[in-house]
Amino acid sequence: MFKKILIANRGEIACRVIKTARKMGIKTVAVYSEADKDAMHVSMADESVCIGPPPSKESYLSIDKIIAACKQTGAEAVHPGYGFLSENPEFSRRLEESGVIFIGPKHYSMASMGDKIASKKLALGAKVNTIPGHNAAIDTPEEAVEIARGIGYPVMIKASAGGGGKGLRVAYNDMEAHEGFSACKTEAKNAFGDDRIFVEKFVEEPRHIEIQLIGDAHGNTIYLQERECSLQRRHQKVIEEAPSSFIDPVTRKAMGEQAVALAKAVNYESAGTVEFVVGKDKSFYFLEMNTRLQVEHPVTELITGVDLVELMIRVAAGEKLPFTQEQVKLDGWAMECRINAEDPFRGFLPSTGRLVKYIPPPEVHGVRVDTGVYEGGEISMFYDSMIAKLIVHAATRDQAIARMRDALNQFVIRGVASNIAFQAALMQNPRFLSGDFNTGLIAEQYPKGFNAADVPHADPAMLVAVAAAIHRQYLARNATISGQMPGHAFVAGEDFVVMLGAAQHPARVLEAQGGWDVSFAGERYELRSTWQFGDPLYVGTLNGQQICMQVERRGLIYRLFHWGVQADMQVMSARTAELRARMPIKAAPDMSRFLLSPMPGLLTQIAVVEGQEVKAGETLAKIEAMKMENVLKADRDCVVEKLLAKPGESLAVDQPIIAFK
């Protein structure tokens, strides 16, 4: 067994590998860029080496620097995590030549299966079901359009070396195929250093189901059940679960055996995942093979009881797999939510900055949190947007969903926006709850994006009662301030109006033993809690039932978060509410003359010049943030008056880029 390994990655996956290595008694080496000098994985490892400036190309994607770090520290093996160099056969080969073991498949297996074009040809040879498409690299957008017409729209334009939703577009017509080809090529070159693009038929109403497998150097290859990854937004997975509610034992066995046959065709060693698209009739087609550990591997670990990282390390060290296919178990149900630094209320735009508060739910009762951040740490614009992975395990799917809902309620993040509200809303979506969904669910359910109105609260009375009680508790504290004039002491009062949106809810709040009694709409709500000022979580009981919600005071606003609902509420006296209704509404400033940056990021291109006439739909600028290229287009015909920013400039959110006449 290795005595020391180097982790060629960052963030939560680097921390995840370090935990298992520590459990196995193996020393660890972290590598980091200058932007990550204070990162969690650096402090967790036994040693650390700085490998360059923040851009990935100059640090985490530099093979020479990582090999030099291995030699400097005496690391015998390298775990690549996922992303970066994890599926780069050149990296695996170079390590092997340097006498360092790659904790992953052999470079020749990776080259065969990591390349989507080559792997599809291999799948055909291994008699694995495949999707119709053009399996050779495409050189021009015009050629992409011609091929797409031949296959028949819709088509999927994909980077051969792609992954994580990067270098991937769905096109429904010639224009989308032309633009999609160019965007995929740019993203693929920036993210993977390989800009080869191919096209295949897009299967409508598909489910995305993948088989986890593990192989050793002794000819043993085993599949570890399936994962349901159909809940996706813009081709990026949002929620994963294992097993799939759609797959029956016969289909599971057939998919597993095809995945194993494909792996054996290239002498695959280590952990890998074969992804399938599955039709309504349970027909399945090979999509691609990921020759690395997947982001969503924890759900497989929880239902099978195996540590995939440990198995990868043991296989790389030459050991045999410790169990057979017949011994693989399927215990209960696991589910994972990817907690990302993005704002669901602003079109899921990336959010960067400092984590002012970071309080994950406690890891008890089937709850697991994999993360690489900490309170006070920074979410950088240079890397992906993942903050953490929240994973739960329970006996049944319904119990897993209930456990996930409770865990999301307890997950406190401040300082950067997160997608927790969106995740919690999905946990209540009827189609998701029923298990009857496909990869189009999010696009179909939220065609205009996500906003608070999409999540009506099942019990708004709970929100009203908590807001009223918190306000009364603040006033009770104010009444205890010393130095008040005799006869003019502050009196908290009992009667209030709670403003929830445009609705007014008259409420009476009375102090009770251990909490407050709130009366409104003819009902009484007994709130009992030990909540104190500044606590981000309001935990207690409402009429004897356990409740937990996030609370935050923002000036005169009480922001409550529960079950995916983010409610901004004001509590005031009846007279104040009457006067407030008479106040004029202050109109927001008109910014329609400007193109504003929708996110913090790097301005990579301005596609217009001063004085140019622009038609609606034309590209104005491109911004790169968190490894994704974002194209800003004109929403109307206009004339460019002035350019307010330059390519290469780092932009803040809402920063003006172009002024129009």
pLDDT grade for 502, boundaries at 50, 70 and 90: confident
Give tens-digit pLDDT for 94-113. 999 999 999 999 999 999 88
Whether the bond into 53 is cis, omega within 30 of 0: no
Sign of CA dihedral 561, 564, 568, 572: negative
Give the pLDDT confidence of 230-289 residue by residue, as tens digits: 999 988 899 999 999 999 999 999 999 999 999 999 999 999 999 999 988 888 999 889
Examine the pLDDT at 512 and tell me if it is beyond 90: yes
Please enumerate in sequence order all residues whose Cβ is within 8 A of that of 315, keeping only pairs 6 or more positions apart, or say none.
214, 215, 216, 217, 269, 270, 321
Q: Mapping DSSP to helix (H, G, I), strand (E, B) and coil, where does residue 616 land?
A: coil
Average pLDDT, the chain: 92
89-97 vs 63-73: helix axis angle to the nearest 10? Answer: 30
Q: Is residue 182 part of a domain?
A: yes
Would you say residue 191 lies in a domain? yes
345 and 224, same structural domain? yes
Give the structural domain span for 363: 207-452
Find the helix or strand (DSSP H, E) in which 600 lies: none
Tokens of 651: 């932009």
Residue among 248, 204, 203, 201 at smallest CA distance from 225: 248
Q: What are phi and psi of 570, to 5 degrees?
A: -120, 140
| Residue 449 CB-density burial (10 A; 0-12 exposed, 13-18 middle, 19+ buried) | exposed
Q: Which of 582, 603, 629 is the last residue of a domain?
A: 582
C-alpha span between 392 and 406 (Å, rounded)? 10
Per DSSP (E only), the strands in 480-556 are 495-500, 503-512, 515-520, 523-529, 537-542, 545-554
CATH of the domain at 169: 3.30.1490.20
Indicate if the pLDDT at residue 201 is higher than 80: yes
Tokens of 457: 């609260």
Amino acid symbol at 628: M
Over 205-259, what HEC string results? CCEEEEEEEEECCCCCEEEEEEEEEEEEECCEEEEEEECCCCCCHHHHHHHHHHH
Q: Which residues pair with 239 in a beta bridge?
A: 231, 337
545, 475: one domain: yes
Q: Are residues 217 and 188 in the same domain?
A: no
Q: How far apart are CA 115 and CA 246, in angstroms?
A: 29
Distance CA 606, CA 648 (A): 10
Report which residue type is found at 554: R
pLDDT band at residue 459 under the 50/70/90 scheme: confident
The pLDDT of residue 132: 77
The CATH number for 79's domain is 3.40.50.20
CA–CA–CA angle 144, 146, 151 (5° rounding): 90
Same structural domain for residues 501 and 375? no
124 is a domain residue = no
What does the block give as tokens for 505?
């809810």
DSSP state of 268: -
Q: Tell whether 343 is covered by a domain.
A: yes
Judgement on whether residues 386 and 448 belong to the same structural domain of the protein: yes
Euclidean distance between CA atoms 377 and 357, whole angstroms: 9
Contacts of 465 (CB under 8 A, 6+ apart): 507, 518, 520, 525, 527, 542
Q: Which of 290-304, 445-459, 510-524, 549-563 has the lowest mean pLDDT?
A: 445-459
The three state secondary structure string of 7-72 is ECCCHHHHHHHHHHHHHCCCEEEEEECHHHCCCHHHHHCCEEEECCCCCHHHCCCCHHHHHHHHHH
The DSSP bridge pattern shows strands 4-7 and 27-32 to be parallel
Residues 559 and 636 in one domain: no
pLDDT of 627 strictly over 70:
no
Query: Which pLDDT score, from 0 to 100, does residue 179 have?
Result: 93
Of 539, 561, 582, which residue constitutes the final position of a domain? 582
Of 95, 103, 208, 222, the closest CA to residue 156 belongs to: 208
Active site residues: 288
Look up residue 252 and give its two tokens.
């599971």
Are both 214 and 337 inside the same structural domain? yes
Closest by alpha carbon to 275, among 328, 212, 338? Answer: 212
Do 514 and 423 reside in the same domain of the chain?
Answer: no
- Give residue 435's Cα distance to chain centre: 21
* Chain-centroid distance, C-alpha 292: 18
SS3 583: coil
Find the CATH number of the domain harbouring 231. Answer: 3.30.470.20
Q: What confidence tens digit (pLDDT) does each residue in 203-247 have?
A: 777 899 999 999 999 999 999 999 999 999 988 899 999 999 999
Structural domain contains residue 608:
yes
**Quick one: pLDDT at residue 453?**
65
Asked if residue 146 is part of any domain, the answer here is yes
Residue where a domain stops, chosen among 181, 201, 221: 201
| Same domain membership, residue 194 and residue 143 | yes
What would the mean pLDDT of 452-460 be, rounded to a whole number? 76
Query: How far does Cα 599 stand from its chain's mean position?
Result: 17
40-55 confidence digits (pLDDT tens)? 999 999 999 999 999 9
- Assigned domain for 588 exists: no
Does residue 193 lie in a domain region? yes
**Per-residue tokens: 561:** 């978060």
Q: How many domains in the chain?
A: 5
Query: At residue 338, what is the residue type?
Result: R
Instruction: Give, in degrees to the nearest 5, the angle at Cα 532 between 526 and 537.
Output: 80
Mean pLDDT of 479-504: 89
Q: Residue 164 pLDDT more than 70?
A: no
Residue 455 has pLDDT above 80, yes or no: no
Taking the C-alpha atoms of residue 31 and residue 70, their distance in angstroms, rounded to an integer, is 10
pLDDT at 408 over 70: yes
**pTM above threshold 0.95:** no
Is the same domain home to 553 and 538? yes
Q: Give me the residues paired with residue 451 across strands.
A: none
Residue 194 shares a structural domain with residue 236: no
> Locate tokens 């409104």: which residue?
520
Which residue bears the tokens 């309620």?
Answer: 409
Q: Is residue 58 domain-shared with residue 176, that is, in the same domain?
A: no
- Residue at token pair 């650390």: 48
